[in-house]
Structure 1
């Protein structure tokens, strides 16, 4: 969850100060360095509910447990669904590799098999939700170039908008636009743009946050699929940060455990 939206710390910047694209790029980089440098927890553990809403407004609920652990390589994550019956026992593991990429595997209880998520499959839906497997990966500062765009209101919030352009040509999104509140320096909205069409395809909205051991954690987010008119709400409960998490959660043995 915390990988999806991280805090961006920066001061108020006026459009009048952006005199050239070079200045905009420099400001964007400065903003992003603060963003990626903001304090993150070393571990996060929580229970969660996921609510899927289809284009007719019908909803389906799910419950799950989430574990994250950060080290020098990146962030490892483990997720296990406990309800309803059609997804119960489904487990997902993402681990950072030495080359900076992430290896993802999913255990499907109906087949009693583990499937490796290939790079070409990462734009697919994560367990039928509006999040993709790609959305579940960790990101670093060097994965993007940055441009400060403008100041803009997001509801009652006064925000700065920054464009983040992916350097990875195989990424499903060509770029994203991030809205950060100047009052608390947190990103409350991300618009994601499809690489194939260039169009706005998804919006990630942070609806609620909490502060845990000095870290801002998004505890309620909504991913809206603009193209399909569907959405997924993810709500964290019983959040624990910087606690000890057994390393077994991030192993193939635990992923495959019966």
Structure 2
């Protein structure tokens, strides 16, 4: 009988250690999210942004985005974000390179490019409620100290992400990740005082045959100034041919890209 009890005990211990060994980590979740988004390295997206201020006034802007994402080397990640209309913001363009370490803003009215660095990343981009920090890069394990807060939910992982950047506006991000498709459903941005400041929610995605995920619609709220932005992509082209020097300061100064 004692032998049977001991055998049963050893089986329980083995199963417990096995489950711990195979449990996914926060860094592995972020890696998988990057892998799912980088299966098609180059991408062009055309869409709209509808901004609503605290008084309920709406403004619609047309936009185009080009991106390059290489899961083998996040330092090569880059994207260009340009407004196409209305006239007062036409061709205002942001360039992010080296996973958000280098950010440039082109203002056509001044015909000059400005480097955005340090505390400048806290500024809002072209009158939107997105800061340059919000737009500058992805969510890699190199940029955040990630902790898995909860995986008991059948559908989602909950991650706690503490920025490595000492100049960040946020003490942490709370990210809800889809367990099956590995994309973020929601991100809560927590300010330096520990209060919820902004919320980004993904409302529509498209799953490709290769398993990659394309975000088509998202809703961004700034809870402090009571403003919102609804971003929706109307067309997405993947695997497009782009020149090797496309993501450059020279490119964003062109009237057409």
Give 1:198's aligned residue: 194
TM-score if structure 1 supplies the norm length?
A: 0.80
Separation of aligned partners in 2, 1:241 and 1:135? 23
- Is 1:169 the equivalent of 2:166? yes
Separation of aligned partners in 1, 2:190 and 2:254? 38
**Contact 2:29 2:182 (8 Å CA) reproduced:** no
Separation of aligned partners in 2, 1:202 and 1:67? 25
Q: Which of 243, 248, 253 pairs up with 1:251?
A: 248
Separation of aligned partners in 1, 2:254 and 2:237? 24
**Contact 2:66 2:79 (8 Å CA) reproduced:** yes
1:35-57 deviation per Cα after TM superposition (whole angstroms, max 9, x unaligned):
34435120110111011011122
Aligned residue-pair number: 230
TM-score if structure 2 supplies the norm length?
A: 0.80
Q: Which of 178, 192, 197 pairs up with 2:175?
A: 178
Give 1:20's aligned residue: none
Separation of aligned partners in 2, 1:250 and 1:188? 28
Give the 5 Å matches for 1:1-258. 27-40=25-38, 41-71=40-70, 72=73, 73-96=75-98, 102-139=101-138, 140-150=140-150, 158-195=155-192, 197-212=193-208, 214=210, 215-258=212-255
Separation of aligned partners in 1, 2:151 and 2:240? 38
Cα distance, 1:178–1:256 mapped onto 2, change above 3 Å: same
Q: Which has the higher helix share?
A: 2
1:130-149 deviation per Cα after TM superposition (whole angstroms, max 9, x unaligned):
21111222242122222222
Separation of aligned partners in 2, 1:35 and 1:183? 11
Cα distance, 1:101–1:86 mapped onto 2, change above 3 Å: closer
Per chain length, whose mean CA-contact separation is higher, i.e. which structure has more relative contact order (CA < 8 Å, sep 6+)? 1
RMSD: 2.6
1:135-179 deviation per Cα after TM superposition (whole angstroms, max 9, x unaligned):
2222421222222223587xxx94331111122221122211111
Higher Rg: 2
**Contact 2:25 2:148 (8 Å CA) reproduced:** yes
**Contact 1:212 1:241 (8 Å CA) reproduced:** no
